[in-house]
Amino acid sequence: MDWSRIWHATRYSASGLRAAFANEEAFRQELLIAVVMTPVGLWLGRSGVERALLVGTLLLTLIVELLNSAVEAAIDRIGPERHELSGRAKDMGSAAVFLALTLTGTVWVLIGADRWLG
């Protein structure tokens, strides 16, 4: 096993998280929500599966936001001029975040409703 490779990969990942936190307001907002809601999800879920779904969807949203931010940064690096394909890529990244947030909200509502109404 190449520990050097693992160490460098971990450092690159930490650098990416720091860059997202420093430069992406949406990531900071979603991270705050995840930090606040993770303990709630661990309490709300009645089983390991429910807890995994509640916390996992929060993490999934952060992952999708990181990918969306990476796409936007790469496109912005190319240049400021408007291009149809650049706009499409940015819109698709935004749509992916929207779907992740929709999934998160749906899971939380369904599990919460089952807990309090079921």
Catalytic center residues: 65
* Cα–Cα distance, 75 to 65 (Å, whole number): 15
d(CA 12, CA 32): 22
Distance separating alpha carbons of residues 96 and 111, to the nearest angstrom: 23
Contact status, residue 103 vs residue 53, Cβ threshold 8 Å: no
Rounded to whole angstroms, the Cα distance separating 65 from 67 reads 5
Question: Nearest-5° angle of CA 23, CA 24, CA 25?
Answer: 120
